[in-house]
Amino acid sequence: RKEVEQDPGPFNVPEGATVAFNCTYSNSASQSFFWYRQDCRKEPKLLMSVYSSGNEDGRFTAQLNRASQYISLLIRDSKLSDSATYLCVVNTDKLIFGTGTRLQVFP
Amino acid sequence: SQTIHQWPATLVQPVGSPLSLECTVEGTSNPNLYWYRQAAGRGLQLLFYSVGIGQISSEVPQNLSASRPQDRQFILSSKKLLLSDSGFYLCAWSVRGRGNQPQHFGDGTRLSIL
């Protein structure tokens, strides 16, 4: 089993839609969690940390479920500029990156 | 604010040639430093990390090496490149001594081996 698993997608959604990605992790001792965004042929950029109580940053909401060992990212009111690959990242003694979920927002 | 610089942005090298990629961080002291590789359509693979000058940990066996001659400088090297070394190489830094910190990436170097 992979340490971090994500649905590769692509998720094709119209502008204004709400879309959610899930990510599961295998190590129950994982201590911190992040979502990164990676545009085509660019470096990953930190989107947001994921806190135990869940957290929101504008149109983005992240949730953590430690019992089921998954984290989620919800994007509301999708914009064309949200098109990218979203990487789930889990920290045990080092950061483990998922292979990403690709999102394509169309007009 | 902290910035991370990585160069060159792209590189085309013949098989068997040497390699040197450089990464520097500004605006922070004593960072943790990392080298990753991302093959086409694949996830990020941690190659090396460093918690201090001269301290290098290798994650996977390979023909690459890393060095940290100064606190904010991290270098990735190879004496003889293989075709399989092609990929997108990323340097990253994080705050040292504090657990659960995210990493911040440089712009990356796209390496093609011919």
**Dihedral angle, C-alpha B47, A35, A92, B74, nearest 10 °:** 30
Tell me how crowded residue A82 is: count the other CB atoms within 10 A of its CB.
19
Chain A: residues touching B (Cβ < 8 Å): 31-32, 34, 41-46, 49, 87, 89, 91, 94-95, 97-100
Does residue B99 sit in helix, strand or coil?
coil
3-state helix, strand, coil in chain A (%, to 5): 5, 55, 40
C-alpha–C-alpha distance, residues A104 and B8, integer Å: 30
Chain B segment 46-65 residues within 8 A of A by beta carbon are: 46, 49
Q: What is the pLDDT of residues A64-102, one digit of tens each?
A: 999 999 999 999 999 999 999 999 999 987 889 999 999
- The answer to whether residues A62 and A71 touch, using CB atoms and an 8 Å cutoff, is yes
Model pLDDT, residue A43? 96
| Span B87-110, pLDDT tens digits | 999 999 999 866 678 999 999 999
How does pLDDT run across B59-85, given as a tens digit for each residue? 876 789 999 999 999 999 999 999 999
Q: If we measure between CA atoms, which residue out of B54, B19, B48, B17 comes closest to residue B33?
A: B48
Chain B residues within 8 A of A8 when measuring between CB atoms: none
For residue B17, report the phi and psi dihedrals to the nearest 5 degrees. Answer: -85, 160
